[in-house]
Amino acid sequence: MAKTNFGLLVTARIVMGFFQAATFPTCLHAWSIWAPPAERSRLVSSSFAGMSVGNFLIFPLVGLIVDMLNWESVFYLSGAFGLLWSIAWVVLIRNTPNDHPCISEHEREYIKSRVGRPLERPWPLKSILTSLPVLVIFIAHVSDNWSTYSLTALAPIYISRVQGFDLKSAGILSALPFIVRLLVTTVWGWVSDFIIKRTKARLCVRKISSSLPLAVAGISLCAVAFLGCNTWPVIALLTSSVGVLGMTTSGHCSSYLDVTGSYSGVIFAITNTLISAIGFLAPQVAGALLPDNSLENWRNVFLLAAGISVTGSLTFALFATDKTEKWAQEENSKEEKVENGQPMLEKVPEDQQVSSSTSLEC
């Protein structure tokens, strides 16, 4: 389409965005049904880490593929991987533990005993739109995505045009932040669940997981703004500012499940629709601030991203909660109990507990 007509190219991009928009809300809704509260951080982190894997692979691969083949090959290969993933999803994914043929009865009962039944009543749209906890999560999510989108789009340009690296080297260096983010996302997800299980301090973990990385990213970007052509300190700070944001999957991303329960998928879809506009706005605003590649203009881009990160950090630290909203709770039957705002059945004895991420039989 790019070779045929510019209008067709734009149309293709819109269609891609429309269909890909369902991916993250679907994953989050799946975890609202499949993820026991004690395993949410690491399970949400494991799926969201895929974004870092994709970014980590695509940056160096684009430079290599274009250098070895041609630019069209980048899109052919990306499309092929997308098709393979779609086939795997259709074959492997089921709506509920009851529907899945590849898990043991023990694991099925373990999940059902800890995760409430999905709510089937109409969406409480007014309550969702006027919920302070949802707004707080939204602000933190905006702050996270603004920095991520800005740096994803602009870091290769900054590294190549301002710091003076060629395309291949810029691609490899631009991938570094996402290697760090992948490691941070995965490791911190496990650490978060361990701390929550040992201390029951879920709210404290959620606040640290979002407020701390957003603050660190903001400070790092402020430093980048004034370092000028000190290349390796700049690259180190860009790497840390994106990498540390991997902690947020155990923060505001997991808070969707804590606060909104079975509605987390639909609420994430609403908020992510608004936030996705940032994927368009962040590079556009940066472009408006960059009439040329002078360090002064780049400083404004980094300071804006830093200010938004710090705003999200303070908002989440002051106002975040881990309590399930009343409109997201279901009426519990007599044999059910409530723990941390989540409907629960009688607990499985400790010596019989298994992780929901194991015991596959197929």
- Residue reference for tokens 């029951």: 200
Can you state the angle between helices 40-68 and 252-260, rounded to 10 degrees? 140
pLDDT digits (tens, 9 = 90+) for 307-348: 999 999 999 999 999 998 988 875 443 333 444 444 444 344
Res 170: pLDDT: 60
- How many Cα atoms occupy the beta-carbon half-sphere of 260 within 13 Å? 34
* Residue 230 scores a pLDDT above 50: yes
Q: Which fold has domain 6-58+125-323?
A: Growth Hormone; Chain: A; (1.20.1250)
More confident residue, 91 or 163: 91
92 pLDDT exceeds 80? yes
Per-residue pLDDT tens digits for 231-254: 778 888 888 888 888 899 899 989
Question: pLDDT per residue over 130-149, tens digit each?
Answer: 999 999 999 999 998 888 77
Tell which phi-psi region holds residue 236, choosing left (phi > 0), alpha (psi between -120 and 50) or beta: alpha
Distance between CA atoms of residues 240 and 186, nearest Å: 16
- Tell whether the model's pLDDT for residue 287 goes beyond 80: no
Per-residue confidence (pLDDT) for residue 165, from 0 to 100: 64
Pick from 133-147, 187-201, 294-308, 337-351: least confident: 337-351
Q: If you average pLDDT over residues 49-58, what whole number do you get? A: 77
pLDDT of 347 reads: 43
Q: Please give the average per-residue pLDDT across 277-288, as a whole number.
A: 76
Structure-block tokens of residue 275: 């936030």
Checking if the pLDDT of 275 tops 60, the result is yes
pLDDT digits (tens, 9 = 90+) for 203-227: 999 999 999 999 998 998 888 878 7
> Maximum distance among all alpha carbons in the chain?
68
Summarize the confidence of residues 20-32 as an average pLDDT: 83
Which residues face 343 on adjacent strands? 338
- What pLDDT does 120 receive? 65
The two tokens of residue 96 are 């509920």
Residue 119: pLDDT band (50, 70, 90) is low
pTM to 2 decimal places = 0.73
Residue 31 CA, chain-centre distance (Å), reads: 13
134 C-beta neighbours (distance < 10 Å), count: 22
Band the pLDDT of 70: cuts 50, 70, 90.
Answer: confident
E strands of the chain, at which residues?
Answer: 337-339, 342-344
> Would you say the C-alpha torsion 330, 334, 340, 345 has a positive or negative sign?
negative
Question: Which residues make beta-bridge pairs with 337?
Answer: 344
Between residues 161 and 104, which one has the greater pLDDT? 104
- Residue 56 has a pLDDT of 73
Q: In this predicted structure, what is the pLDDT of residue 341?
A: 42
Distance, in Å, from the CA atom of 252 to the CA atom of 134, rounded to the nearest integer, reads: 10
The size of the chain, in residues, is 362
Task: Specify the pLDDT at position 334.
Answer: 35
CB atoms within 10 A of CB 322: 21
pLDDT category of residue 161 using cuts at 50, 70 and 90: low
What residues contact 253, with CB distance under 8 A and at least 6 apart? Answer: 28, 44, 48, 141
pLDDT at 197 over 60: yes
- 296's enclosing H/E stretch is helix 295-319
* Domain range annotation of the chain: 6-58+125-323
In the prediction, which pLDDT does 329 show?
78
Using a pLDDT cut of 90, give the percent of the chain over it: 21
pLDDT of residue 84: 94
Nearest to 257 by CA among 349, 191, 189: 189
How many percent of the chain have pLDDT more than 70? 83
Residues 6+ apart with CB under 8 A from 355: 39
Arithmetic mean of pLDDT, 81-89? 91
Question: What is the average pLDDT value for the chain, to the nearest integer?
Answer: 80
Considering only CA atoms, which of 118, 138, 134 is closest in space to residue 126?
134
Helices (H), 21-131: 23-34, 40-68, 71-92, 105-112, 125-129
